[in-house]
Amino acid sequence: MNRYLNAYDELASFLNKEEILLDEPMKNHTWFEIGGTADILVIPQSVEKLIKVIHYVRKNNIPTFLIGNGSNLLVKDGGIRGIVIKTEMINRISVEGEIITAECGALLEDISGIAYEHGLSGFEFACGIPGTLGGAVFMNAGAYDGEMSFVLDSVRVMTPDLKVLTLKRDELELGYRTSAVKTNGYVVLDAKIVLEAGSKEEIKAKVDDLTHRREDRQPLEFPSAGSTFKRPTGHYAGKLIQDAGLKGYQIGGAQVSEKHSGFVINKDHAEAKDVLDLISYIQSTVMDKFHVELCTEVLIVGEDKQDII
């Protein structure tokens, strides 16, 4: 029995019915294609509606989890209690001079495409990161020697006490896969990105090169959450895993990619437990062989099946 049926009715007073999904399988909303049900999944279609939802859940003390497009997420088999808010429909992007303003659900690849169309350079690194702006700010996403801290001007956030603030770059505490948004529990509403005027031909050439490198090296043909582990100091996670003899190692439907050992993939209808067991085995094996701790980069949330009452 879903304990949040009343919440569904109250949310319907200011959201459209298609913005509220009851008992929704999270496997339909993560790139891993894994995960049990969320009691309620809300997909607001504007920043204003997002703010209303956050006010509602805070006022009613309802457990809440925010996602973008689920590209860096593993939801456990028992699902998520309370309300999951998905921001993918809040995705407007505008350009003024060398500044791009984008809402939290805008895809990085779409921002990269618009930057190219306007001859703006500096965002090429993000062309292949399969996430939203909000998630990218949250974890200071980066790739190929670029990261969000290089291009952010300011971010508008909602704080846990429901204030809306604009934080400048030096107030965001941007570090390796972390930010003040993450540590303080802020919700990203939108952000301003500052780029430089450049040659469209050079921008396209760089995007094409990075796209080719990504397609050539990453197992994009299988569901995954991208790089499974953070880069340990002085090492590369993928090389450690490969040197430990784990390339292709499989537990249930989860496998260490044979193309890139830094990726755990959903090879054959994996459950979250398969992935978690494989992650644990990788971590213990690498620690035993090389005395290096591997920390997960993929965000793991939700409940195990046996936790459900």
pLDDT beyond 90 at 287: yes
Helix 108-117 to helix 200-217 angle, to the nearest 10 degrees? 150
Q: Within the chain, which residue ranges are assigned CATH 3.30.465.10?
A: 93-217
Q: Which CATH number is 5-86's, of 2.60.120.1060, 3.40.50.2300, 3.30.43.10, 1.10.287.610?
A: 3.30.43.10
Q: Which CATH number is 93-217's, of 3.30.2090.10, 3.30.465.10, 2.40.10.10, 2.120.10.30?
A: 3.30.465.10
Determine if residue 35 is left, alpha or beta; phi over 0 gives left, psi from -120 to 50 gives alpha, anything else beta: left
Pair 207, 124: CB distance under 8 Å:
yes
Q: Within the chain, which residue ranges are assigned CATH 3.30.43.10?
A: 5-86
Partners of 83 in beta bridges: 40, 64
147: helix, strand or coil: strand
In whole angstroms, give the CA distance from residue 138 to residue 133. 8
Residue with tokens 């195990």: 304
pTM of the model: 0.92
Q: Side chain identity at 132, as an amino acid letter?
A: T
DSSP 82-94: EEEEE-TT---EE
pLDDT given at position 285: 98
The fold of 237-307 is 3.90.78
pLDDT band at 309 (very low <50, low <70, confident <90, very high): very low
Mean pLDDT, rounded, of the chain:
95
Pair 74, 35: CB distance under 8 Å:
yes
In whole angstroms, give the CA distance from residue 20 to residue 26. 14
pLDDT band at 1 (very low <50, low <70, confident <90, very high): low
Partners of 250 in beta bridges: 255
pLDDT beyond 90 at 138: yes
Pair 154, 192: CB distance under 8 Å:
yes
In whole angstroms, give the CA distance from residue 156 to residue 163. 10
In whole angstroms, give the CA distance from residue 35 to residue 194. 37
Ranges of H-type helices in the chain? 5-11, 47-59, 108-117, 133-138, 180-184, 200-217, 237-243, 272-290
For the annotated catalytic residues, the residue numbers are 177, 227, 297
Average pLDDT of 179-191?
A: 96
CB neighbours of residue 283 within 10 Å: 17
pLDDT given at position 144: 85
pLDDT beyond 60 at 18: yes
pLDDT beyond 90 at 151: yes
Q: Within the chain, which residue ranges are assigned CATH 3.90.78.10?
A: 237-307
pLDDT band at 103 (very low <50, low <70, confident <90, very high): very high
185: helix, strand or coil: coil
Instruction: Sort strands 99-103 and 80-86 into parallel, antiparallel or unpaired.
Output: unpaired
